Amino acid sequence: MGAGHAHVLYRESGSPVHRLPPEVKIVAMVVFTLAVVATPRTAFWAFGAYALLVAVVATLARVGPGWLLSRALIELPFVLFAVALPFLGAGDRVELLGLRLSEDGLYGAWNILAKGTLGVLASLLLAATTTTRDLIVGLDRLHCPQILTQIATFMLRYLDVLVGEARRMRVARVSRGDDPRFLWQLRGFAAGVGALFLRAFERGERVYLAMLSRGYSGRMPAVWQGAGAATAGQWLVAATVPVLAAAVAATAVVLR
């Protein structure tokens, strides 16, 4: 993890958003999402304002709309559920494109689509501008429980190791005539999974004992947090988006 582990969503850049400390980006994303969730579903203008804020941040972060929209497809199951609501919802019916749809269902579908999409886009921007290691460092600086940050650290550190081990085991099986596409070879696949589990467990035990021998006491050393904690000025800069979002949400609630 000391090498600054990245992930598949991270986009290398020197943008102003990338340079912000991770803790301020995490707080900004959470507050922005809470403001979006608190907004009444009938305040259509407010969701347009949120979308504009997301677009501005994406432009500053040099993250293209195509990249964001393609990764936002992860919310497709929720989209399908939202599409079904106007047909399944109860209450008053309205005529739309020759179909009689539930008014509450239409509002519910809009609520899920708008808030879900904005939340996903905000999360994607955080992931695109912050490495996995920095995300964990940011959570640690925000005093997230140590047990959670340590589990995440070890998981991310050795995930690539386990994936590489599984890939080598598969190559070894295939080179010996195994073809995992056939159902009758499921037993060999299951045995491989069991062997991988045992190897992972033994590796984890060795790593833990090595850490204990080097003075590990159940907490990451202070050096893990590293330099570059957020300054007051950086907190103020990062607060721009969540403060604007909170103001939009408050105005939408008052005008409801």
56-114 tens-digit pLDDT: 999 999 999 999 988 888 888 778 888 877 777 666 677 766 676 777 778 888 888 99
Alpha-carbon distance values, 215 to 84, 110, 137, 220 (Å): 57, 54, 21, 10
* Residue 210 pLDDT: 83
For the segment 197-235, what is each residue's pLDDT rounded down to a tens digit?
777 777 777 877 887 888 777 666 654 555 567 888 999
* Residue 101 pLDDT: 77
Angle at 31 between CA 55 and CA 36, to 5 degrees: 60
* Residue 108 pLDDT: 85
Phi, psi (deg, nearest 5) at residue 130: -140, 125
Residue 27 exposed, middle or buried by CB count within 10 Å (0-12, 13-18, 19+): middle
* Residue 38 pLDDT: 95
Confidence of residue 1 (pLDDT cuts 50, 70, 90): very low
- For 101, other C-beta atoms within 10 Å of its C-beta total 19
Q: How far does Cα 85 stand from its chain's mean position?
A: 26
